[in-house]
Amino acid sequence: MLSAQDAIQLEACLADGGVAVFPADTVYGLCCDPLNERAVRRLYELKGRPAERPAAVMFFALACLLRALREIGARERVAVEALLPGPVTLLLPNRTRRFSLACGPGEGGAGTLGLRVPAWPASLEALAQVDIPVLQSSANLSGEPDARRLRDVPESIRAGADLVLDGGELPGTPSTVIDLSDYERTGEWRVTREGALSITALERVLDAGA
């Protein structure tokens, strides 16, 4: 079980430009300050992830996301509040070009932002106290299986990170990725990666909101 002190340590690590291994509601992740170019580069290097691939921005509580991203449209907000916190990554229009380091190179990449807010289980709910967003990706080597337990995180990643938090065994299925880039305008959506939340559950939420 993680504690308030673990949340404080995580915030301090990120503020200092560090990269951390942490447990989420799905799999183990890597995170850093999304505005720190050096930290983002280190995270990508630890994973062996191509620089052109985008990452997600994670908020540790829904209120923090809604406070930071006031430009979300009315229909999008309904979807966000219905699906988050939860085991999903939502791809939304990045109208104000925020968090460009997470979006991949070029104009097309900067136009879409991936967003996460985990549904913290009781053993990890202390992390909901973290008040800053992070750039996050799964704590595995690019293309390799996701880590369900801390020992499943490659040794090279654990050794290269500035902070490692052990949250025990996690569900092990990554988030479902949902493209909502046209949802505000047309009500259309699509799943780009099937994961922890079923398409049936998404249909109940998103088709009703459309």
Tell me the pLDDT tens digit for each residue of 43-69: 999 999 998 899 999 999 999 999 999
SS3 state at 71: coil
Q: Give the span between the Cα atoms of 121 and 192, in whole angstroms.
A: 25
Contacts of 87 (CB under 8 A, 6+ apart): 25, 26, 118, 119, 171, 173, 175, 176, 195, 196, 197
Looking at the DSSP bridge assignments, the partners of residue 23 are 28
pTM beyond cutoff 0.85 = yes
**Per this entry, what is the length of the chain?**
210
Both tokens of 111, joined, read: 């136009």
Phi and psi (nearest 5°) for 160? -85, -15
Q: Give the span between the Cα atoms of 27 and 170, in whole angstroms.
A: 6
Both tokens of 35, joined, read: 């505005």
pLDDT, residue 184, reads 95
Phi and psi (nearest 5°) for 98? -80, 160
CA angle, 157 then 163 then 164, to 5°? 65
Helix/strand/coil percentages in the chain, nearest 5: 40, 20, 45
Which tens digit of pLDDT belongs to each residue from 158-193? Answer: 999 999 999 999 999 999 999 999 999 999 999 999
Which tens digit of pLDDT belongs to each residue from 70-128? Answer: 899 999 999 999 999 999 999 999 999 899 999 876 544 468 999 999 999 999 999 99
* Dihedral of alpha carbons 130, 131, 132, 134, sign: positive
Q: Give the span between the Cα atoms of 36 and 87, in whole angstroms.
A: 26
Which tens digit of pLDDT belongs to each residue from 135-151? Answer: 999 999 999 999 999 99
Please tell me the total count of domains within the chain: 1
Q: What is the domain range of residue 83? A: 4-209
CATH of the domain at 120: 3.90.870.10
Q: 200 pLDDT exceeds 50? A: yes
The region that residue 165 occupies, defined by phi over 0 for left and psi between -120 and 50 for alpha, beta otherwise, is beta
Return the half-sphere exposure (C-beta side, CA atoms, 13 A cut-off) of residue 24. Answer: 32
